[in-house]
């Protein structure tokens, strides 16, 4: 008899879980209140980066913390009330920045990131959207006099983990991206990164592939999840749905659904913003650029150049504050001649983050048949397919692509 599964959440991670389970013969229903890829997966920089293995709460955070506490930098902004309501998450997040915690977490992340581009390429070919992929790498840039030293340190760190990068001086940067203004002292070309020209379109294509292969898409908001004698039931505003197993892949909303089950997940959110701009004078970029000192990403997209901001620590559903995105715009225009916006709205989203910056991938303790796949922080678009493949392999009793131990839900749940 065919096993059945409910996947709650149709972002990149949820769609990937649905596709991967379907490939293993399960009959899958994918549930979301909005169209696939409309939430967190919509608003990223579109980068697929195998080398994104250094979490934000790495040891260098301690050096920057005094400046961040002033709450006037574009890198990190916070709302004091949010910090006071979530002291446990903040303290655990900071504790993970100890030097002794970097190596095991980087190794864990490498298991998720290393196969990301090759898996996306295969899925994009199956979904008919290979034309959206660029394999031109990503360019990380520094402005200050210490730029070359910082580029060298990151190059050596990534090289030690098997990733290929190239250090560039001012002339090398101009040779690679001639339309960038020559304000950067050093750069690091991450050769093995890819990027896409519209992230939501990729998620939508994967969801369409899932549907074309017999998967069921249900547009509804899940209000509760309960165990039944046969498996699991999701109650939604469109009715109840039953299956043998359930996968919670709701990103920043995952903890809400799990709390009534007695599963208290220490899930925080890192909010971010983006806008799209036209370039001046027909100038162009061939790849995403990350201005480290300017605290933004700038990526060529279908609807213009997407400018993304840093991290905002605030309640998930708090009103928007455009201070960060406003702060980075002048820095971006110093680097690349941006004209006016291509749309009137500023997008805001929430990146789901656990204190160790590693996602939960696996079966929930004490809840047979309940599987968890969330917490991919800033790299959910990149690592969604690998997360889906890992979870589906565990469900099917296969050997996963990478060691699942660093992502086991039991590290936070008992």
Host H or E run for residue 278: strand 268-279
| Domain residue ranges in the chain | 4-41+200-267+355-411, 51-197+268-353
In contact, 4 and 18? CB cutoff 8 Å: no
* CATH no., domain 4-41+200-267+355-411: 3.50.50.60
Q: Identify the three-state secondary structure at position 95.
A: helix
* pLDDT value, residue 63: 94
Q: What does pLDDT average to over the chain? A: 97
Residue (of 328, 271, 269) closest to 298 by Cα position: 328
> Does the structure show a pLDDT above 90 at 147?
yes
Rg of the chain taking only CA atoms, in angstroms? 21
* pLDDT value, residue 1: 82
The residue whose two tokens read 């339309």 is 179
Assign 362 a pLDDT band (cuts: 50, 70, 90). Answer: very high
Question: Is 51-197+268-353 CATH 3.30.9.10?
Answer: yes
**Tell me: the pLDDT tens digits for 167-178?**
999 999 999 999
Read off the pTM: 0.97
Q: Identify the three-state secondary structure at position 188.
A: strand
Structure tokens at 150: 């910082």
**Mean per-residue pLDDT for 363-388?**
98
**Tell me: the pLDDT tens digits for 239-295?**
999 999 999 999 999 999 999 999 999 999 999 999 999 999 889 999 999 999 999
Assign 328 a pLDDT band (cuts: 50, 70, 90). Answer: very high
* Ramachandran angles phi, psi of 324, nearest 5°: -65, -45
**Tell me: the pLDDT tens digits for 191-240?**
999 999 999 999 999 999 999 999 999 999 999 999 999 999 999 999 99
């Amino acid at each position: 008899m065919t096993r059945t599964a409910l996947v709650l959440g149709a972002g990149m991670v949820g769609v990937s879980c649905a596709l991967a389970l379907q490939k293993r013969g399960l009959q899958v229903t994918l549930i979301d209140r909005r169209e696939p890829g409309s939430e967190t997966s919509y608003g990223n920089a579109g980068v697929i980066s195998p080398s994104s293995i250094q979490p934000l709460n790495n040891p260098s955070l301690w050096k920057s913390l005094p400046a961040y506490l002033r709450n006037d930098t574009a890198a990190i902004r916070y709302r004091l009330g949010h910090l006071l309501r979530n002291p446990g998450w903040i303290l655990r997040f900071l504790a993970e920045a100890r030097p002794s915690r970097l190596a095991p977490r980087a190794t864990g992340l490498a298991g998720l990131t290393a196969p990301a581009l090759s898996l996306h390429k295969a899925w994009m070919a199956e979904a008919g959207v290979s034309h959206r992929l660029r394999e031109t790498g990503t360019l990380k840039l520094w402005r200050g006099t210490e730029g070359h030293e910082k580029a060298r340190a990151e190059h050596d760190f990534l090289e030690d983990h098997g990733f290929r990068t190239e250090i560039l001086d001012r002339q090398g940067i101009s040779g690679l991206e001639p339309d960038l203004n020559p304000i950067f002292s050093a750069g690091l070309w991450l050769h093995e990164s890819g990027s896409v020209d519209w992230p939501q379109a990729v998620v939508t294509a994967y969801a369409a592939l899932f549907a074309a292969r017999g998967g069921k898409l249900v547009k509804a908001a899940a209000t509760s999840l309960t165990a039944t004698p046969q498996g699991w039931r999701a109650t939604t505003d469109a009715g109840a749905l039953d299956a043998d197993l359930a996968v919670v892949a709701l990103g920043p909303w995952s903890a809400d659904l799990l709390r009534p089950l007695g599963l208290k997940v220490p899930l925080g959110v890192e909010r971010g913003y983006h806008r799209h701009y036209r370039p001046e004078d027909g100038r162009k970029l061939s790849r995403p650029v990350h201005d480290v000192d300017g605290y933004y990403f700038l990526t060529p997209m279908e609807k213009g150049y997407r400018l993304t901001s840093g991290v905002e620590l605030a309640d998930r559903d708090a009103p928007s504050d455009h201070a960060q995105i406003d702060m980075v715009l002048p820095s971006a225009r110093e680097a690349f001649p941006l004209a006016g916006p291509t749309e009137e709205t500023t997008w805001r989203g929430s990146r789901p983050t656990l204190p160790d910056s590693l996602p939960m991938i696996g079966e929930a303790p004490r809840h047979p048949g309940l599987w968890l796949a969330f917490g991919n922080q800033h790299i959910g678009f990149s690592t969604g397919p690998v997360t889906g493949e890992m979870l589906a392999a565990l469900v099917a009793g296969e050997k996963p692509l990478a060691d699942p131990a660093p992502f086991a839900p039991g590290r936070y749940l008992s």
